[in-house]
Amino acid sequence: MAAYTLAAFQADYPDDAACLAAIMDIQRGGRDLYCPACMVKAKFHPMTRRRGFACQECGHHIFPCVGAVFEKSSTALTKWFLAIHLMTGTRRGVTAKEIQRRLGVTYKTAWRMRHELRKLMASADYRGAIVGQSDGE
């Protein structure tokens, strides 16, 4: 199996809209679904200036980031996705300092992103332990 390169990753997730669509696909199974408000199978379209989708029939809003690590974050979804890619693409993981350099965010933001993602990785079903802390900052 070929490695998932950074170029392929950037082609799959070029902007926040693509990342939000991926979250919606994972969480809700796509954008054609039954609206919880009008109970009609309808398309949900992206909203402008908000991380959400609106029903084409009644305008009901769905926010796929609610309940996820992205919920109250002002950091762009592309940066979150890139941090996920960096953390899952190596055996040893990455430090918060490396995330800071690669993403162009503050150390505080990089530390929080890494901390939240490690909590998710630890709580997920996995086959082995997460090895090494790599807190060499």
Provide the whole-model pTM.
0.81
Predicted local distance difference test score (pLDDT) of residue 67: 86
Q: Coil, helix or strand for 119? A: helix
How much of the chain, in percent, has pLDDT values that exceed 90? 41
Rounded to a whole number of angstroms, the distance between the first and last alpha carbons of the chain is: 33
Letter for the amino acid at 5?
Answer: T
**CB neighbour list of residue 15: distance below 8 Å, 6 or more residues apart:** 78
DSSP code, position 129: P
Predicted local distance difference test score (pLDDT) of residue 33: 82
**Residue ranges of the domains in the chain?**
6-62, 77-123
Q: What is the pLDDT of residues 41-66, one digit of tens each?
A: 888 888 888 888 999 989 999 998 88
Q: In the numeric block, which tokens belong to residue 38?
A: 């009008």
Q: How many residues does the chain have?
A: 137
How much of the chain, in percent, has pLDDT values that exceed 70? 89
Q: What's the whole-number average pLDDT of the chain?
A: 85
User: Is the per-residue pLDDT at 74 higher than 70?
Assistant: yes
User: Is the per-residue pLDDT at 91 higher than 60?
Assistant: yes
User: Is the per-residue pLDDT at 133 higher than 60?
Assistant: no
